Amino acid sequence: MKILVSDPLSEEGIKLFKDVKEFQVDVKTNLKPEALKEIIKDYDALIVRSATKVTKDIIGQAAKLKVIGRAGVGLDNVDLDAATQKGIIVMNTPAGNTISTAEHTVSMILALSRNIPQANASMKQGEWKRSKFMGVELYNKTLGIVGFGRIGREVAKRALSFGMKVLAYDPFLSREVAEAIGVEVVELKGLFEQSDYITVHTPLTEETKHMISSSQFVQMRKGVRLVNCARGGIIDEVALVNAIKEGKVAGAAIDVFEKEPPSADNELLKLDNVITTCHLGASTEEAQVNVAIEIAECVRDYLLGKGIRNAANYPCLEAELCKIFEPYINLADKLGAFSSQLVEGRFQELSINYTGDIAKHDLTPLTMALVKGILSPILKESVNFINATNLAKERGIKIKEAKSSQEEEFVTSIQLEIKTDKEVRRIYGTLSANKQPRIVKIDEYYVELSPQGDMVVIQNWDKPGVIGNLGTLLGKYNINIAAMTFGRQAPAGKAVSVLNIDSPVSAELLDKIKKTENILSVKIIKI
């Protein structure tokens, strides 16, 4: 089997391939897209880092390709949908740079506190200005960590060793898990209000883009310090510059930018109390070796028929069951993603009930897909089919499974109950006649909706004119309604309305929908 390594990869990873007599390994870096497109037809596996763009066109020419391995976490450079459609497994290494990024974060916090880069630059200019670089101690300060996955947890351990108080915000983190290591779980607003330092460790999604902006800076303590070693765009750079100039923010340490490399006129590069590095979070010798070895082991084992690990687009199951399970895996994934964005509060327990013919099989792959769907809107590429249930359990989310071959309300269905610290919601999914996923019940309301694209989920009073008002309002913003479904228990009572729409809803429009007469609540969902 032929393996193409198209980006620089540590020799330790390449050696793992070369040690297998069944493999032929070719290392060809800096390939132009047309050159890669020309030769990809000959290869069974492709190993990339971030430079190679594995586009739909390239995947279309991959006649033999079985697996794409990404030595790193982000999959922005791989067309996951195109690979999935062609049956190509895509693997990544979500844990390989955990320690490296955590240590870089703590280094940035220390450098920010003691003005180390500024003092170093001053010394090298022949100056000796001790009073100019007065610092602050970490001891007894409060660190707020936004996103408490593997990296956030490692940062917390190190911060606790400095005698810091650590607060954490993560919608999937249970209080019990956090408190066991000495961390207090808070809501995001509370974290902003109480923290002396704030560090972010979330993926960049539509929900997390600019999650720290002007209105959040207003909530923070005067003199707060911010660190971003996660993804550019989580912190609004323009708002951060303004907050620093106004004196609200005492300093910032930024490793990642909205545009990389940042332009020379980016004001963050010009402020004396901002420390910047060039996306170095994973740039350690150990991290590069770790991700190289991890991806090589995953791809090697898959090609040799020893199982699937760290698959971003495929759960582990026997080949002969694939055709039976595939539509249900799709249903479970989308049911999870829909439900995750519907509920309020911190997740505590997932109860899953499978009914009908599908319940005769081992349903582990479906549970993996459903939990992946639930976590994906927040954790994005750091969660996959293989690690989803472990990530949920690490955060203290209990998962219960039940199944019955007896038909209940629907011939075959997946019934999900989510308990949070604020509410309990029940969402049912099934397959249509052409095996497409459908949400058929939300709590006590029967509906019929396709979980895809942009959706608006509304709870409203069942009064005349509600739907007409919504249609008129969306029309004014040039948003087309692709499909609508309604559910109610009794005339004039509470009802649920779900709209599939052709373009996203702006914050301005969302506010107007919420203020429309007889509207009780609104959720924007994107799958």
Is 1 strand, coil or helix?
Answer: coil
Classify 452 as helix, strand or coil: coil
In this structure, are residues 77 and 127 in contact, taking their beta carbons and an 8 Å threshold?
no
Give me the amino acid identity at 119. Answer: A
Active site residue 210: no
**One of 22, 34, 206, 260 is an active-site residue; which one?**
260
Give the mean pLDDT of the chain.
Answer: 93
| 98-276 classified as CATH 3.40.50.720 | yes
Which region holds residue 345: left if phi is over 0, alpha if psi is between -120 and 50, else beta?
left
- Specify the CATH superfamily of domain 444-527: ACT domain (3.30.70.260)
Residue predicted with more confidence, 351 or 406: 351
Note if 260 is an active site residue: yes
Domain 316-438 grouped into CATH 3.40.630.30: no
pLDDT at 382: 77
Instruction: Decide: 198 and 253 in contact? Cβ < 8 Å.
Output: no
What's the full length of the chain, in residues? 527
Dump pLDDT digits (tens) for 270-289: 999 999 999 999 899 999 99
Q: How far apart are CA 164 and CA 160, in angstroms?
A: 5
Model confidence pLDDT, tens digit, residues 295-341: 999 999 999 988 788 888 876 555 556 667 888 999 999 999 999 99
Active-site entry in 158, 175, 221, 279 = 279
Residue range 159-173: mean pLDDT, rounded? 95
Fold of 1-95+284-314: Rossmann fold (3.40.50)
pLDDT for 358 equals 83
Neighbour-count burial for 173-201, b at 16+ CB within 10 Å, e otherwise: bbbebbeeeebbbbebeebbebbbbbbbb
Same fold, 1-95+284-314 and 98-276: yes
Share of the chain above pLDDT 70, in %: 98
pLDDT digits (tens, 9 = 90+) for 234-265: 999 999 999 999 999 999 999 999 999 999 99
DSSP H or E segment with residue 215: helix 214-219
DSSP 466-506: HHHHHHHHHHHTT--EEEEEEEESSTTSEEEEEEEESSPPP
Mean pLDDT lowest among 35-44, 70-79, 81-90, 337-346: 81-90
- What one-character-per-residue DSSP string does 47-79 give? EE-SSS-B-HHHHHT-SS--EEEESSS--TTB-
279 catalytic, yes or no?
yes
Q: Flag whether pLDDT at 443 surpasses 90.
A: yes
- Percent of the chain with pLDDT strictly greater than 90: 80
> What pLDDT was estimated at residue 407?
61
Cα–Cα distance between 492 and 489 in angstroms, integer?
Answer: 9
Q: Where are the domains of the chain?
A: 1-95+284-314, 98-276, 316-438, 444-527
CB of 173 closer than 8 Å to CB of 350: no
* pTM as predicted: 0.75
445-494 confidence digits (pLDDT tens): 999 999 999 999 999 999 999 989 999 999 999 999 999 999 998 898 99
Q: Out of 70, 231, 346, 395, pick the active-site residue.
A: 231
Reading the block at residue 241, the tokens are 């510059």
Asked whether residue 10 carries a pLDDT value surpassing 60, the answer given is yes
Instruction: Specify the pLDDT at position 159.
Output: 98
Provide the pLDDT for residue 384: 79
